[in-house]
Amino acid sequence: MSGCHDPPAGGGGVAQHPKGVHSVDTKPSAGESNTSPTTSVDREAGLIVLVGNPNVGKSAIFMHLSGTYAEVSNFPGTTVEALSGRWKGRALLDGPGLYGLGEHSAEERITTEAIKRASVVVNVVDAAHLDRDLFLTLQLAESGVPMVVALNLIDEARRAGAEPDPEELSRQLGVPVVPTVAVTGEGLDELATTIERARPGTWSLNGDDDLARRRAADELYTQLVPQTRRQRRICDWVGRASVTLHWGIPMLALSLAGIYLLVGVVVAQHLINFTEVRLGHEFWEPLARSIIEGIGIGGPIQEILAGEFGLLTMTVTYIVFLLAPLVAAFYFCLALLEDSGFLPRIATLVDRVLTAVGLNGRALIPIILGFGCVTMGTITTRLLATKRERTIATALLNFAIPCSAQLAVIAALLAGLGGGWVFAYAAIILVMLIAVGTVLDRMLPGESTPLLIELPPLRWPRPAGVLRKTLTKGYWFMREATPWFAAGALVVATLQVTGGLELWQRALRPLTVSWLQLPAEAARTIVMGLVRRDFGAAGLYEMGLTPPQALVALVVITLFVPCVASLMVMAKEHGARVALRIWVGTWFVAFTVGGVLARILSWLGVVS
Amino acid sequence: MGIDSVPVGSWARIEAIEDAAARRELTRLGFEEGADVEVISRIPFGPIVLQRRHRQVAIGRELARRVQVTTQ
């Protein structure tokens, strides 16, 4: 039977736009055929735009139609820019999620602009939270753009005993409505054929008043959804508990402990031990060396390809056998946090802490993403409300947040030292975060904006979704990082062959040996760190450092310059001046803190 | 009074939201002036979590002071 509900031909009920409702289902092909004469003028032929509230499944529908991967998360703000793809030869845009149309933010402007050009708008709504979504739906239905409503997450609404009536919605709005479950693909084929029959809504509101529209939406909602008491489910209870102090904090602590156990212990210690030592050092590197020798390559080229910093030896070992497993483990944990809907709840719990550094709870999202990839985190700072908050969050990310690759190497190094050192490292980085944030909060004019965040319902993450996200993001990260890593290795290997490394090490002796109390070879780490911090940290691995030296070196390299990719994103988002200031600032902060720490450690009598 | 002083578990009617940007956002989200909401959590010195029907929003303490409500 049909799950699709068209408004009755001729228009019943509230229809006031007879031109949009004429015989529609007979012409399935050309995208322009159904648009009403008043709206077809500046429409781009065939352009389809997905519009909806954050976190309603737009991206899943986009992926289904276009075959392109887009992020699916259970928190608002993942799609920062409009993604474009193609469907049946037509352009398809996945806009950022938003609760209403206007000119109040970059997301709204992007979407409003795209809707003006669209020949069809697919309005994706969350059937389980239709009261909220109807506000935007009514705005679209008033605008006269040809549209289709995808009543998504209909399964969730059904389970909650609050399934909206699609036929009634279609009749009231005058547009086709298709119930869907995007993640399982239910109803999507039907949605695809219905796009051909999109038409302008017949809804009209007196004036353009937000409050009037909200009240109309609420009233429409009560007509669509049976007003019975919803069943409380376990997820609802956990959701409520997670934003209270006495349940939320232990839940947060438990999650962090779980992440540490998986990433820091199982993967960083046990799995890496096997992949890096057995597969990397003992199997792959001798094999690569013997192949290079077998081919008869010698001299400096041999050194560059298969020497200490060889492109085929060290680079491969670090990327394939050390970074890849750790980065994947980390993205797996992030995917769980994102898809479960726990992230905005954590943002609520830590709001108080972040207001101390001029941010609000919302800034937790870019910061957490920064632990995956600082570059990605820096891009996501766009979801913060003011330039001031974006600047502070960007600075925190680029000064003191180690990305997954760096964490990977750091975890592997610290794992050998024991709990006390792990704690000391974490405490120092935390203090630095607070210090950098506080200084900026004082320096920059203005004050922090208050938190206002919707808390999505908790959901069990879908295993297929989590796996897909882990692999896609992990792959994306490795693809991004590998060329830089290889370039860094090439530079260092070349410097070594030409004797430049020796000179550099000697030149930096006052800084490394006298000030930081590290071996002279640590200067290499600094060269490598200029390219990527994780690469720098990787260089520390075989230096035979004592525990206090390792701590100093790790703190320095964590606070040191952001990777080249992050630097470029910063310059793009905040201008070259801010980017350069942050970059130079990291030199100063990293070496000052490192030197002071070395002094404190020797003063405390920790043998170095 | 501000919704920051409503005890957890109580209901309140939003009378006025004294912040233009927040009023717009809350209206879109369905926490508009005139709506009855339940306070489901107050993080000490931190945000207040409100629920209407089955949906929740968290608002910072400062903002909560500017959300004027009446209780029954």
State pLDDT tens for residues A207-251: 778 999 999 999 999 999 877 666 667 878 888 889 998 899 999
Q: Is residue A200 pLDDT above 90, yes or no?
A: yes
Taking the C-alpha atoms of residue B72 and residue B68, their distance in angstroms, rounded to an integer, is 14
Of B41, B54, B57, the CB nearest to A230: B54
Q: For residue A74, what pLDDT band results from cuts at 50, 70 and 90?
A: very low
Q: Are A59 and A78 in contact (CB under 8 A)?
A: yes
Tell whether B5 lies on the interface with A, counting CB pairs under 8 A. Answer: no
Tally of domains in chain B: 1
Of A129, A210, A348, the CB nearest to B49: A348
Taking the C-alpha atoms of residue A81 and residue A4, their distance in angstroms, rounded to an integer, is 30
Taking the C-alpha atoms of residue A213 and residue A206, their distance in angstroms, rounded to an integer, is 9
pLDDT at A77: 46
Higher pLDDT, B60 or A300: B60
Q: Are A484 and A532 in contact (CB under 8 A)?
A: yes
Residue A468: how many other CB atoms lie within 10 Å = 15
Q: Is residue A59 pLDDT above 80, yes or no?
A: yes
Tell whether B62 lies on the interface with A, counting CB pairs under 8 A. Answer: yes
A347 vs chain B: nearest CA distance in angstroms?
9
Tell whether B57 lies on the interface with A, counting CB pairs under 8 A. Answer: yes
Q: Which residues of chain A make contact with B24, given a CB cutoff of 8 A?
A: 100, 102, 104, 210
Tell whether B20 lies on the interface with A, counting CB pairs under 8 A. Answer: no
Q: Which residues of chain B make contact with A347, given a CB cutoff of 8 A?
A: 58
pLDDT at A40: 42
Tell whether A230 lies on the interface with B, counting CB pairs under 8 A. Answer: yes
Domain residues for the domain of B42 are 3-70
Q: Which residues of chain A make contact with B25, given a CB cutoff of 8 A?
A: 99, 452
pLDDT at A229: 63
Higher pLDDT, A29 or A319: A319
Q: Are A230 and B55 in contact (CB under 8 A)?
A: no
Of B32, B43, B57, the CB nearest to A349: B43
Give A122's strand partners.
A50, A148
- Name the token pair of A103: 């000119």
Q: Give burial (CB, 10 Å; 0-12/13-18/19+) of A545.
A: buried
Place of tokens 């075959």: A67
Place of tokens 């705005």: A139
pLDDT at A72: 52
Taking the C-alpha atoms of residue A104 and residue B42, their distance in angstroms, rounded to an integer, is 29
Q: CB distance A455–B58 less than 8 Å?
A: yes
Residue to mutate among A56, A453, A458, A459, with most B CBs inside 10 A, is A453
DSSP string, A170-214: HHHHTS-EEE-BTTTTBTHHHHHHHHTT-EE-----SS--HHHHH
- Name the token pair of A488: 């860094």
Going by C-alpha positions, the residue among A517, A516, A542 that lies closest to residue A528 is A542
Q: CB distance A457–B54 less than 8 Å?
A: yes
Highest average pLDDT, of A38-52, A263-277, A338-352, A464-478, comes from: A338-352
Query: Domain map of chain A by residue range?
Result: 18-224, 245-603
A273 vs chain B: nearest CA distance in angstroms?
43
Report the amino acid identity of residue A278.
Answer: R
> At B61, which CATH number?
2.30.30.90
What is the rounded average pLDDT of the residues A148-152?
A: 97
pLDDT at A21: 29
Q: What are the pLDDT digits (tens) for A465-501?
A: 899 888 888 887 788 778 887 888 888 888 888 888 8
Chain A, 463-482: which have a CB under 8 Å from a chain B CB?
Answer: none
Q: Give burial (CB, 10 Å; 0-12/13-18/19+) of B56.
A: buried
Tell whether A581 lies on the interface with B, counting CB pairs under 8 A. Answer: no
Residue A142: how many other CB atoms lie within 10 Å = 18
Q: CB distance B29–A454 less than 8 Å?
A: yes
Strand pairing category for B36-42 and B11-17: antiparallel
Q: A476 Cβ partners below 8 Å, 6+ apart?
A: none
Calculate the dihedral angle through the C-alpha atoms of A25, A26, A31, A36, rounding to the nearest 10 degrees. -70
pLDDT at A211: 93
Q: A566 Cβ partners below 8 Å, 6+ apart?
A: A374, A375, A378, A397, A398
Q: CB distance A452–B60 less than 8 Å?
A: yes
What is the rounded average pLDDT of the residues A580-586?
A: 91
Q: Is residue A24 pLDDT above 60, yes or no?
A: no
Residue A204: how many other CB atoms lie within 10 Å = 12
Of B33, B56, B59, the CB nearest to A451: B59
pLDDT at B35: 94
Q: For residue A16, what pLDDT band results from cuts at 50, 70 and 90?
A: very low
What is the rounded average pLDDT of the residues A149-169?
A: 92
B53 vs chain A: nearest CA distance in angstroms?
9
Q: Is residue A8 pLDDT above 50, yes or no?
A: no
Q: How far is CA A269 from CA A67, A261, A275, A404, in A?
A: 38, 10, 10, 15
Buried-exposed string A422-439: b where 16+ CB fall within 10 A, e elsewhere: bebbeebbeebbeebbee
- Name the token pair of A224: 């669509």
Calculate the dihedral angle through the C-alpha atoms of A139, A144, A148, A151, rounding to the nearest 10 degrees. 20
Q: Which residues of chain B make contact with A344, given a CB cutoff of 8 A?
A: 58
What is the rounded average pLDDT of the residues A180-195?
A: 93
Q: Are A470 and A332 in contact (CB under 8 A)?
A: yes
Strand pairing category for A146-152 and A90-94: unpaired
Going by C-alpha positions, the residue among A537, A405, A582 that lies closest to residue A482 is A405
C-alpha of A515 from chain center: 38
pLDDT at A1: 40
Answer whether CATH 3.40.50.300 is correct for domain A18-224: yes
What is the rounded average pLDDT of the residues B47-57?
A: 93
pLDDT at A607: 54
Task: Give alpha helix (H) positions in B1-72.
Answer: 20-29, 61-65
Taking the C-alpha atoms of residue A45 and residue A173, their distance in angstroms, rounded to an integer, is 24
**Among A63-72, A416-425, A464-473, the least confident range:** A63-72
Q: Which residues of chain B make contact with A102, given a CB cutoff of 8 A?
A: 24
How many residues would you count in chain A?
608
Q: What percentage of chain A's residues is helix, strand, coil (to nearest 5)?
A: 60, 5, 30
Handedness of CA A319, A322, A325, A328 (dihedral sign): negative
